[in-house]
Chains A and B, each alone.
Chain A
Amino acid sequence: MSTMKTTRDVKGVGLSIPRPDGPEKVTGRVQYVADIKPRGMLHAKLLRSPHAHANILRIDTSRAKAYPGVRAVITAADIPQLKKKAPTRAHAVLAIDRVVFVGQPVVAVAADELSIAEEALDLITVEYDVLPSSVDPIASMQPGAAPVAEAGTKADTSEALAHSAVALAKSDTGPSKAVNVSQQARVQRGDVAKGFAESDLVIENTYHVPMMHQGYLEPHAVLAEWDTNGLLTLWASTQGSFNTRSEVADVLEIPENAIRVIPVECGGGFGGKIRALCEPITAVLARVTKRPVRYVMTRREELEAGMPAPEVIIRLKTGVKKDGTLMALEADTILDSGAFSGTVLAVSAVFLGSMYKWPSFDIRGSEVLTHKPSVAAYRAPGAPQTIFAIESQMEQIARALKLDPVAFRQRHLISEGDPMVNNQPWQSNGATEVLKRVAEHPLWKSRAEWVKSNGGNGTKRRGVGMAIGGWLGGLQPTGATVRLNPDGSVSVLTGQVDIAGTNIALAQIAASAYGIDVDRVRITTGDTDTAPMTGLSAGSKTVYTVGAAVLEAAQDARRQTLEIAAAEMEASVHDLEIEDGRVVVRGVPDRAMTLAQIGKKGNLYMSKVQPVLGVSRPAFTKQAPGFAAQLARVEVDTETGEVTLRDFVVIQDVGRAINPLAVEGQMQGGSVQSLGMALTEGLLFDPASGRLTNPSLLDYRKLTAADLPNIETIIVEVPSPAGPFGARGVGEPPIIPAPAAIANAVQDATGVRITELPISPERVALGVLAQK
């Protein structure tokens, strides 16, 4: 889309402007769901399954119901809409007859006080007949494994479509006859057998990435209230209020316009707050009790029964010629989806085969169900796991052939127009430029000195590693309005949930497109009753798609403003310009109207001037891939296996940094989540019982400030053709490369190749021992 020219620069796009809600956040005044407490509010608690797989024989709630202060105790039998073949986790509001993971909700309670609701849970008796369970994904695929889903349940592919708009051809995907395999995909090109036969170097590894929790600091929370007309209001911590509305309407079988979702400040989501989780049951409790009901998950519930990232196992085999010519790639990917289908199988296949120009490939993927919590998105779902495999493999090839790892990648990296594995062409992207900036970086150029700098003494070894990864960029139709107010200020309205600071970027886009300083623009996130339909805050697409909507709506408002001024001043609209809050006739400085005069005319009794209301509702189809590379300097203690990160650089193509301050924040935050995946994170399930063995933030280690160096950011700007002012998605690319970059750095330091995450001291030390 074209960007309108203004005669002078306004305070808008390209400036590092702190987000306007900063003061609310640093004073603790901003309210999250758990901070809201209407009069008469009840507290909800859920009794959850202690078993990974069991039949429910009997539930006795009589003692809980009789406990003073308890207002409702409900089971699946009290919710007639519930179906045994729940198509999604959201539909499985409470277990019917059978539980399929530890932590699955079985009974819901609402009480006057949280402590009373907790007491009531202890008074409920559930008799279970414990069944054999399938906890490990490989075991779960074997004949005779205990089945997870009710027979005939359909796979859920909406997650992949929502996040990256990646689709494989229909004939490539489908269910499998194997037990617990809920989705399969396969993409092929060329003759793989011939490719391997003609290869000089064939490397095969199996990469393993555990389930990980997104770790948003605010646990899931929702407040529900019904009015006497049967209208439901939900105050939700969600990444997409319209999506929450649709899911709740679908589960409860009520019209969407009977639900108002108010997106309260969201204390982090990272993909984990897209799909409905506790909203339907809280709404049911509120309906039964006719009182507002608030439910806040505990951290333990989040870790045991949230919606984590899938466990991913990738067997990857590559063949190349002695000179580094790529010949063949073969992969088997297994994504453990937990108890309900919903992984991003296609994303994994696309990134395994599409980053580099493999002449032949055969990539097979399977989604497997297990008796564990079902998964959801986690920032660039599937990409960090997949890039860990392919970028580890590229590094090993380069090392084996004694090729410069960056130059080797540069030779084979895709660019615009190259076919992806699904034969769609790569859109314009900055992958080449990002890799070039790695090669130029002092940390990369001085890597030999860094490796030598430990002097060869003691147990410390130093290394440098890099990796590059990408994200295709999400798409979703969306709407925005831009209004001119009677005082000449501008109001922007979308339904976009602002977590990362996107609202200030959207306001900057509106300012530059309209021709007014951003200080005069106020942006509001409306609820589902007031805002135009707006997509998810996910898929790195807020600025790309909602930004485009705001840009067009602001251009529309500008056009209307100029037309009104042209009529009022009897001038040609082509001679008009917006300057310093006034519409002026070019070259005639004293012929002007203020924006306030125009705004007022649109709101005067008996006025014939229409109010300025710019509207846009784009649904464009062109993605804008974003690439990020990361560069790490590590020090490895070969005795303890401890990896210390000394320096870390993230280099990312963002198309155009609408707000560099916010862009850096995304790059640094994404990098540290990526480093957490690399170094410490993983949900550990006992394979026999299916119970989580690390259900606290002490045992599930997230990185702290003391674990890290400063994260250096290098912003690369290769404009996207369709994005507002050339912007691309920013949020997801920085979470992708670090697991591979750190594994490559550890290999550089010690020669040990780690193929399983996290890269724990134990794994490194064992690897060092195995070398001796």
Chain B
Amino acid sequence: MAKQVLQSTINGEPVEVLVQPYETLLDALREELSLTGPKEGCGTGDCGACTVHLDGKPVASCLMLAMQARGRSVSTIEGLSDNGTLHPLQDAFVRHGVPQCGFCIPGVLMAASALLAENPSPTEEEIRYGIAGNLCRCTGYTKMITAIAEAAPATAALRRA
């Protein structure tokens, strides 16, 4: 099969790259664009480690073909911080000691930032459901929930700015 040209906006930059027609968005990001922040934990959409934003909505990039992102906007964990300044969510995750093995963290942060974009001041239960598609095996989620709740006001302020 011949490769196809994928044109899309990735982390705010226009990108043009050759991909296989059967290649997933996750593989294209990781293998063709060296954006290895999104992880493959299962390849079947069950663990959330590959979560990225497609036009601002969280998606499992392992369940999409790369070509489905044609003409659309994709954001990965690499695009969450602003020129070296940690996003309030990232900063809160560090301070609360959330990352242990760290493998789930990029996906959780993308799910959490999508949640806060839609619901700037979620309740604990809304946060729990907001990241229910992301498995974490190290933390037990408690510190994650605290960090997301704490980062919500600063994230809202950042969006207004």
Contact = CB atoms under 8 A, between A and B. Distances in A.
Contact of B135 (A31, A662, A704, A711): A704
A38 to B, nearest CB: 13
B36 A698 contact: no
A711 B142 CA distance: 6
A37 B34 CA distance: 10
Contacts of B90: 23, 26-27
B44 to A, nearest CB: 5
B137 A265 contact: no
Interface string A261-301: 00001111110000000000000000000000000101100
B44 A696 contact: yes
A671 B102 contact: no
Given A270-B137, A696-B42, A30 B102 contact: yes
A299 B95 CA distance: 31
Given A217-B103, A665-B138, A705-B127, A22 B97 contact: yes
Contact of A19 (B38, B47, B99, B140): B99
A684 interface: no
A672 B47 contact: no
B37 A711 contact: no
B53 interface: no
A228 interface: no
Contact of B41 (A217, A501, A668, A708): A217
B100 interface: yes
Interface stretch (B63-71, B78-86, B152-160): B78-86
A501 B77 contact: no
Contacts of A219: 40-41
Contact of A217 (B94, B95, B104): B104
B88 to A, nearest CB: 11
Contacts of A21: 99, 102
B20 interface: yes
A665 B44 contact: no
Nearest to A32: B103
Given A27-B86, A28-B77, A268 B103 contact: yes
A105 to B, nearest CB: 19
Chain B, interface SS category = loop
Interface string A500-511: 110000000000
B37 A34 contact: no
Contacts of A661: 96-97
Contact of B80 (A23, A27, A710): A27
B101 interface: yes
Given A19-B99, A501-B97, A665-B138, A217 B145 contact: no
Contact of B105 (A26, A34, A299): A26
B137 A697 contact: no
A752 to B, nearest CB: 27
Given A26-B90, A28-B37, A669-B139, A704 B103 contact: no
B87 to A, nearest CB: 8
A34 B40 contact: yes
B138 A18 contact: no
Contacts of B46: 299, 696-698
B136 interface: yes
B47 A217 contact: yes
A495 interface: no
A35 B36 contact: yes
Contact of B129 (A499, A500, A669, A706): A706
A669 B30 CA distance: 29
A501 to B, nearest CB: 6
Given A26-B94, A704-B134, 14 more contacts: A27-B78, A28-B78, A30-B102, A32-B39, A217-B41, A217-B137, A218-B103, A268-B100, A299-B47, A669-B137, A704-B132, A705-B127, A705-B129, A706-B129
Interface of A: 16, 18-19, 21-23, 25-32, 34-35, 37, 115, 214-219, 265-270, 296, 298-299, 499-501, 661-662, 664-665, 668-673, 696-698, 702, 704-706, 708, 710-711
29 contacts: A16-B97, A18-B95, A19-B99, A22-B93, A23-B86, A26-B93, A27-B37, A27-B80, A27-B86, A28-B36, A28-B105, A34-B39, A115-B22, A216-B101, A265-B101, A265-B102, A266-B101, A299-B43, A500-B101, A665-B100, A665-B138, A671-B140, A697-B42, A697-B47, A704-B133, A704-B135, A704-B141, A706-B132, A710-B124
Interface of B: 20, 22, 30-31, 35-44, 46-47, 49, 76-78, 80-81, 86, 89-90, 93-106, 109, 124, 127-129, 131-146
